[in-house]
Structure 1
Amino acid sequence: MTLPVDRLTDPAVRAFVTALNANDQTAFLETLAPGATMSDDGSDRDLGEWTEKEIFASRGHMEIESEKGGGLDLVARFRNDTWGEMKTRWHFVVEGGKISRFETGQA
């Protein structure tokens, strides 16, 4: 069973997933705080390079399975044209209504 994106608790996380699923890079970047950072499987990555490769150039998409921590922790089936589909975990740090960091990896 999936959780509809419009029912995600945290507004910044909801906007992030909505923009990601729409492949809307402009809206996606608007969800991020200046200087935002991210990690993938425990390794810090260049946010711009990673999002271009893993989300926008490869048509990334998230189907949310569950949320915890006030909506800042998600488990999702993430798929893209490069890797196919995998179960992933996402953790978000939100400051001032913008995402200042997100961490993802296989669940």
Structure 2
Amino acid sequence: MSETPDTVELPEAVERYLRAHDAHDVSATLATFAPGATVTDDGQTYEGTLALTRWLERTATEFTYTTTLVGAESDGPGRYTVVQHLEGDFPGGTVDLRYRFVLDGGLISRLDIAL
């Protein structure tokens, strides 16, 4: 595995997102996002409450997987990168994903998920 970032204390919205998303709790995950938030995942961009709800519903049921927090770092004011290791029944079976969060007013305004 490649070198991982140092772990920092994450803001409440990011912690809540990670817990709720792992629990497949769509409404609790959605509550961590600011109105008009944007998510980019798997090459697709989702913007606004309806699109995020559909994305969360799909990701909650598409595959079964476990996550392990590998590390986290601050990228500047209101910006954090979290690295998670996923293992599951998706193609390839394991992957390390980088979740890049941008916060605005204590909520997630942008999330980019990539390798």
Q: How many residues align?
A: 99
- By how many angstroms is 1:50 displaced? 2.6
Distance 1:17 1:51, change over 3 A: same
Equivalence map 1:66-77=2 (5 Å): 66-69=71-74, 72-77=80-85
Q: If the length of structure 2 is used for normalisation, what is the TM-score?
A: 0.71
Equivalent of residue 52 in structure 1, options 57, 71, 80:
57
Instruction: Give the Cα–Cα distance (whole angstroms) in 1 for the partners of residues 88 and 25 of structure 2.
Output: 15
The structure richer in helix per residue is 1
| Letter of the structure 2 residue corresponding to residue 32 of structure 1 | F
Report the aligned-residue RMSD: 2.3
Measured after TM superposition, the shift of residue 61 of structure 1 is 4.3
Name which one, 1 or 2, has greater alpha-carbon Rg: 2
- Structure 1's unaligned 5+ residue stretches are 1-6
Equivalent position SS for 2:28: helix
Whole-angstrom CA distance in 2 between matches of 1:100 and 1:16: 12
Counterparts of 1:80 and 1:16, CA distance in 2: 20
Matched residue, 2:114: 105
| TM-score, length of structure 1 as denominator length | 0.75
Change (3 A) 1:32 1:60: farther
Gap change, CA 1:74 and 1:85, over 3 Å in 2: same
8 Å contact 2:30–2:52 — kept in the other structure?
no
Check if 1:63 corresponds to 2:68: yes
Q: How far has the Cα of 1:100 moved from its partner?
A: 0.9
